[in-house]
Amino acid sequence: MTVRLSFHGAASTVTGSCFLVEHGNTRFLVDCGMFQGNKTVRELNYRPFPFVPEELAFVLLTHAHIDHSGLLPKLTKKGFSGPVHATAATCDLLGFMLPDSGHIQESEVEHLNKRNRRRGRPLVEPVYTRADAEAMLRQLVPCDYGSWLEPAPEIRARFWNAGHILGSASIELEIGDGRERPLRLLFSGDIGPDEKAFHDRPAAPSGLDYVVMESTYGDREREDRTIEQRREHLRREVTEALARGGNLVIPAFAVERTQELLYALTWLMHRGRIPKAPIFIDSPLATHVTRVFAAHRDELHEVEDPDLMFESPFLRFTETVEESRAINRITGGAIIMAASGMCDAGRIRHHLRHNLWRPECTVLFVGYQAPGTLGHLILSGEKRVRIHGQEIAVRARIRSIEGYSAHADRSELLAWAEARRPIGATLFLDHGEEPALHALRDALLARGLPAERIVIPELDERFTLELAAPPGHSRPAPRIPHHLVRAREDWHNAYARLLLDLGQRLQALPSDRGRLALLERLRAALDERAAREPREAARGKDEA
């Protein structure tokens, strides 16, 4: 029996989760996520899939986050017509998340094409539209935790609670051929921490042949904090921020992080532990998702009063663009939560543009910031950033709380892996940046797992899985070079930083004559480089 497994996303990077599984004539995906991060990596969203969508029989989905689900509408648009199996809560979340994602694709491309027309550049099309996303929703098939389903002959799947977000799952597979025992394979999805509001600890089976395991926080430990300790940390940050007289701006992921913060903030306010202040949830998606949480409130774990996150008088849910713009007339005393969590798109960029330059304001990050994103640049200490083509000074107080992460840290990942043993063949490490992947690998080696049984795949790498045997593998030409997949920043980031630095240098010079001289030196350097390029290209051909 032979099973082929290809890593078409989340390989040596954190986003774009997508795994192609092939057995006989059956081909299916586990996840079909959108790439996030720098522009070079995001460009993969626009390129053709490295497989034929029409040939796929079905999709199994671990959870609703866009880096795991966000390319499903494109998959359908390109010819996939099979079912997408996911938990009921995941299906409900996708009913809002995917159309919202399509709307974002359309809006961003509309703004880009306005600039392209002015610059005489070719126009681009969105990855998919809202209508594409709404059409795809008809393919969702809700499943229960713990119940086997048979999406194709000789293939069984079972969903286990991953403790990451509402509806999240690890997916167990049994793949057989009727002649010998089935091959057992587990995809971890994103693994939640042990102390997580709303969810019990993650669960999954043991004694598998192959495990594909996420590694997002494989190189770091978070301080062990109970839910009450996290509330106390949040209490201090909110109190200090509001005491400065400005606004508190929180870039928050619309799913789970927003609802967890809403519950913590309203819980603290109703008990008089932080100043009473309006909490603006400026995200139509977050508003809809909060309603999904309300519908699934019976599934929330250890929540004393779930109605606080839905009905508190301190909450202000905004829907329209006009309501969103009105928030920017508030100069202080407000808590503003908006998506996206990495500041890559959405209304948060408008609020940053209005508050980031004001010293009395605070920006509080409460989640992972992928390299190359605006959130990562701000959190890394950049003094100036570009938002909507404008240069914005970073004078606000920048703060971060890691305790609200929905991912297990290094110790929790190691404990999760230990609980899956024995692993008969191979443990694949994915969904992590290079330092996290290698740190987790080293820690697993120290725990006694043999080196030959731990594999860190590259993007688009393919493996042949056998029972009780090391996997064979091949490396087709990647869609983009591996070093660009792993890079924390790309040339777009370097270009934006150069423009900011150049602007500062020009402003600092005492005269227009000096500014012109600097620009002339830059122009001369560019002309010299342009003259060298044909000679270097010719020399390269001769050497070849």
Per residue in 490-520, pLDDT tens? Answer: 677 677 777 777 887 888 888 988 888 888 8
CA–CA gap between residue 436 and residue 192 (Å, rounded)? 16
Q: Are 75 and 53 in contact (CB under 8 A)?
A: yes
Is 66 part of a structural domain of the chain? Answer: yes
Is 387 part of a structural domain of the chain? Answer: yes
Is 520 part of a structural domain of the chain? Answer: no
Structure tokens at 65: 């986050």
Give the Cβ contact number of residue 77 at 10 Å: 18
pLDDT score recorded for residue 525: 86
Q: Are residues 80 and 165 in the same domain?
A: yes
Q: Are residues 85 and 128 in the same domain?
A: yes
pLDDT score recorded for residue 444: 96
Q: Are 268 and 232 in contact (CB under 8 A)?
A: no
pLDDT score recorded for residue 368: 76
CA–CA gap between residue 321 and residue 288 (Å, rounded)? 16
Summarize pLDDT for 458-473 with one digit per residue, the tens. Answer: 999 999 998 867 788 7
Summarize pLDDT for 1-25 with one digit per residue, the tens. Answer: 689 999 999 998 889 999 999 999 9
* Torsional sign, CA 327, 237, 166, 135: positive
CATH number at residue 308: 3.40.50.10890
Q: Are residues 204 and 234 in the same domain?
A: no
- Which residue shows structure tokens 């591996």? 482
pLDDT > 90 fraction of the chain, expressed in percent and rounded: 60
Is 543 part of a structural domain of the chain? Answer: no
Summarize pLDDT for 236-295 with one digit per residue, the tens. Answer: 999 999 999 999 999 988 888 899 899 999 999 999 999 999 999 998 888 899 889 988
Q: Are residues 273 and 138 in the same domain?
A: no
Centroid of chain to Cα 279 = 25
CA distances from 123 to 110, 114, 116, 118, 119 (A): 9, 9, 6, 11, 10
Among 451, 486, 521, which residue terminates a domain? 486
* Whether pLDDT at 540 is above 60: no
* Whether pLDDT at 535 is above 70: no
Average confidence score pLDDT of the chain:
89
pLDDT score recorded for residue 544: 43
pLDDT score recorded for residue 537: 61
pLDDT score recorded for residue 420: 95
Summarize pLDDT for 219-234 with one digit per residue, the tens. Answer: 988 776 778 888 899 9
Is 529 part of a structural domain of the chain? Answer: no
Among 486, 507, 529, which residue terminates a domain? 486
CA–CA gap between residue 31 and residue 218 (Å, rounded)? 21
Structural domain total, the chain? 2
CA–CA gap between residue 358 and residue 170 (Å, rounded)? 43
pLDDT score recorded for residue 42: 85
Upstream peptide bond of 12 is cis (omega within 30 degrees of 0): no
Q: Are residues 266 and 410 in the same domain?
A: no
Is 176 part of a structural domain of the chain? Answer: yes
The torsion angles phi and psi of 359, rounded to 5 degrees, stand at -60, -25
* Whether pLDDT at 117 is above 80: yes
Is 535 part of a structural domain of the chain? Answer: no
User: Poorest-confidence range of 63-72, 89-98, 303-312, 532-541?
Assistant: 532-541
Among 349, 379, 400, which residue terminates a domain? 400
Q: Are residues 207 and 239 in the same domain?
A: no
Q: Are residues 92 and 190 in the same domain?
A: yes
CA–CA gap between residue 7 and residue 462 (Å, rounded)? 6
Pairing state between β 84-87 and 58-60: parallel
Q: Are residues 28 and 99 in the same domain?
A: yes
Is 393 part of a structural domain of the chain? Answer: yes
Containing structural domain, residue 432: 3-221+406-486
SS3 54: helix
* Whether pLDDT at 183 is above 70: yes
Summarize pLDDT for 359-404 with one digit per residue, the tens. Answer: 999 999 988 787 778 999 999 999 999 888 788 999 999 999 877 7
Q: Are residues 245 and 180 in the same domain?
A: no
CA–CA gap between residue 465 and residue 384 (Å, rounded)? 49
Summarize pLDDT for 423-471 with one digit per residue, the tens. Answer: 999 999 999 989 999 999 999 999 999 999 999 999 999 999 988 677 8
Q: Are residues 193 and 155 in the same domain?
A: yes
pLDDT score recorded for residue 307: 75
> Residue type for 232, please?
E
Q: Are residues 383 and 422 in the same domain?
A: no
CATH number at residue 153: 3.60.15.10
CA–CA gap between residue 248 and residue 396 (Å, rounded)? 10
Q: Are residues 325 and 437 in the same domain?
A: no
